[in-house]
């Protein structure tokens, strides 16, 4: 099972691909999609959409997971992240890839065992779970890997509980 995790953002969208193996989750690839800071929003969203479509075509994930929006004080930031989420969900839907959606708290709980874990704790657990020599950088990519790991965990739990 190959899972594509996505941490949406208009400036930087993180992605991480994790494969379920007999010995646990294994890293396949990770990185970010960058958009130019001064570019109009439609151009930034098109870049995210096109690059995600290329990633999906290249790797052929079996399923995907996208981080849900959480309450933010800055409404314009929340709106732009929501737009990036929308184009990510569209790219996945067009490719016929099933999607799980998780709150940041869900991800922290699945990866670190505590829904209130801070970013460094989650990143260290991503490193440990994937047996990596160091924490993946940048943060957006590490967050996307955490989302993918959360989805694998959720699917395992559903399989066990029916």
H or E segment and range at residue 42:
helix 41-59
Peptide bond into 138 cis (omega under 30): yes
Q: Tell me, yes or no, if 140 is annotated catalytic.
A: yes
| Residues belonging to the chain | 162
Q: Which of 129, 105, 103 is nearest to 116 (CA)?
A: 105
CA dihedral 39, 90, 68, 129 (to 10 degrees): -100
**The one catalytic residue among 7, 51, 106, 143:** 7
pTM: 0.94
* Amino acid 72: pLDDT: 63
pLDDT, tens digit (0-9, with 9 covering 90-100), for 85-96: 999 999 999 999
Q: Is the dihedral of CA 105, 107, 108, 114 positive or negative?
A: positive
Domain boundaries, the chain: 2-161
pLDDT, mean of residues 31-55: 97
Residue 106 has pLDDT above 90, yes or no: yes
Active-site position among 51, 67, 106, 143: 67
CATH 3.30.420.10 fits 2-161, yes or no: yes
Res 79: pLDDT? 84
Taking only the tens place, the pLDDT of each residue in 48-88 is 999 999 999 999 999 999 998 776 677 777 888 899 999 99
Q: Is 118 a catalytic residue?
A: no
Catalytic residue among 51, 106, 140, 143: 140
Report the distance separating Cα 88 and Cα 84, nearest Å: 6
Packing angle, helices 139-161 and 104-112, rounded to 10: 80
Active-site residue, 54 included: no
């Amino acid at each position: 099972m190959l899972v594509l995790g996505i941490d949406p953002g208009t400036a930087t969208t993180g992605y991480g691909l994790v494969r379920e193996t007999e010995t646990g989750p294994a890293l396949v690839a990770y990185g970010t999609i960058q958009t130019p800071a001064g570019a109009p929003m439609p151009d930034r969203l098109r870049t995210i959409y096109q690059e995600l479509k290329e990633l999906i075509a290249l790797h052929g994930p079996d399923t995907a997971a996208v981080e849900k929006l959480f309450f933010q004080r800055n409404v314009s930031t929340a709106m732009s992240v929501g737009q990036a989420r929308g184009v990510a969900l569209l790219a996945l839907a067009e490719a016929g890839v099933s999607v799980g959606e998780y709150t940041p708290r869900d991800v922290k709980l699945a990866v670190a065992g505590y829904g209130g874990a801070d970013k460094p704790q989650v990143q260290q657990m991503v490193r440990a779970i994937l047996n990596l020599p160091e924490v993946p950088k940048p943060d957006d990519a590490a967050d996307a890997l955490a989302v993918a790991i959360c989805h694998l965990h959720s699917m395992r739990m559903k399989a066990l509980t029916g």
